[in-house]
């Protein structure tokens, strides 16, 4: 089997054709992670590991041959330029994490061994099987982080869009939800199960996942001006304590006192989430009473000549 036949599998591609922008779909950037996968095991340098994400420019319009269309969600209230850049930064961190995983395997063999591996009843070549296992972990780990980011997007982008990955160009892209309430918590659970299975499979190929690659970067999108905040409330960040996870109750000390909250599904200890709490009361400036002003004594006017003549 040739290297080209592995590209789609390594990148977790769901479709054969490239992802292209239109009046609904916006590409945040593309991945060149396959370049790390094709290097010998452990030989990728720091630059290669940190530069697998190629970001795209923020563009709120789509120009076709006939007209220019404004993409409905590419606006300050949903996906602002600031949120766009935050998403790209999150993806860059995820790609750097995935690149370190990609650096754990050798590229597949070329020649007869590759062409015949797994074909016509032949067993899969051990080196290709290891390559497959690392590729499966990359795809599952990416899905976990995308699901987490989508759970954050439900609040910051008003649930208007979701993040996806796919296409032969290995694109990270936004697509509108079309008014459908997305269950990204279910996506996260499925991705976490696949990730756990993929990690366990590495041991069969004598590949050890370093401890710093177990959790990876946490997807947390900072609240921006597009976040909906109810009147009289403020947003605060809460970190999930050790021993707790998504779906469990938690008491949080807020400016207004202790409050009970449920940890969002899919989160684990050490991750953070946002909650709205009553705004901290502020002291209202009291009007200052005016100080009484004593009347100034007025000196008597000297008598006129006429008054002096009339005087006895």
Cα 248 from Cα 241, distance rounded (Å): 11
Q: What is the mean pLDDT of the chain?
A: 76
> Interhelix angle for 81-102 vs 126-156, to 10°?
160
Q: Which residue has the higher pLDDT, 115 or 173?
A: 173
Say if residue 285's pLDDT is above 70. Answer: no
Per-residue model confidence (pLDDT) at position 224: 42
Cα 161 from Cα 174, distance rounded (Å): 6
Say if residue 2's pLDDT is above 90. Answer: no
Per-residue model confidence (pLDDT) at position 4: 41
Distance set, CA 2 to CA 128, 134, 294 (Å): 11, 17, 101
> Interhelix angle for 184-202 vs 126-156, to 10°?
160
Using a pLDDT cut of 90, give the percent of the chain over it.
25
Average the pLDDT over 100-121 and give the result.
65
- Name the pTM for this structure: 0.65
Q: Name the β-bridge partners of 237.
A: 274
Cα 104 from Cα 100, distance rounded (Å): 7
Average the pLDDT over 220-235 and give the result.
51
Say if residue 218's pLDDT is above 70. Answer: no
């Amino acid at each position: 089997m040739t290297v080209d036949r592995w590209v789609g599998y390594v990148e977790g591609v769901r479709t054969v054709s490239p992802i292209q922008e239109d009046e609904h779909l916006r590409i945040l950037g593309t991945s060149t992670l396959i370049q790390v996968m094709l290097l010998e095991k452990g030989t990728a340098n720091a630059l290669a590991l940190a530069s697998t994400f190629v970001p795209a420019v923020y563009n709120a319009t789509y120009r076709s041959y006939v007209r220019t269309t404004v993409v409905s969600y590419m606006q300050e209230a949903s996906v602002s330029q600031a949120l766009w850049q935050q998403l790209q930064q999150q993806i860059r961190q995820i790609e750097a994490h995935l690149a370190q995983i990609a650096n754990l395997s050798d590229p597949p063999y070329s020649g007869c061994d590759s062409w015949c591996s797994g074909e016509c009843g032949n067993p899969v070549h051990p080196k290709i099987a290891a390559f497959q296992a690392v590729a499966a972990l990359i795809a599952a780990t990416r899905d976990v982080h995308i699901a987490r980011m989508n759970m954050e997007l439900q609040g910051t982008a008003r649930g208007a869009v979701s993040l996806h990955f796919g296409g032969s160009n290995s694109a990270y892209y936004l697509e509108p939800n079309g008014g459908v309430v997305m269950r990204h918590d279910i996506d996260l659970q499925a991705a976490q199960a696949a990730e756990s299975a993929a990690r366990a499979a590495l041991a069969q190929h004598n590949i050890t996942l370093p401890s710093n690659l177990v959790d990876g970067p946490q997807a947390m999108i900072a609240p921006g001006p597009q976040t909906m905040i109810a009147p009289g409330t403020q947003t605060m960040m809460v970190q999930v304590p050790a021993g707790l996870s998504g779906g469990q109750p938690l008491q949080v000390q807020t400016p207004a006192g202790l409050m009970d909250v449920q940890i969002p599904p899919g989160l684990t200890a050490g991750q953070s989430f946002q909650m709205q709490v009553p705004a901290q009361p502020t002291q209202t400036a009291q009007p200052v009473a005016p100080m009484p002003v004593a009347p100034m004594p007025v000196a008597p006017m000297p008598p006129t000549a006429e008054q002096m003549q009339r005087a006895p």
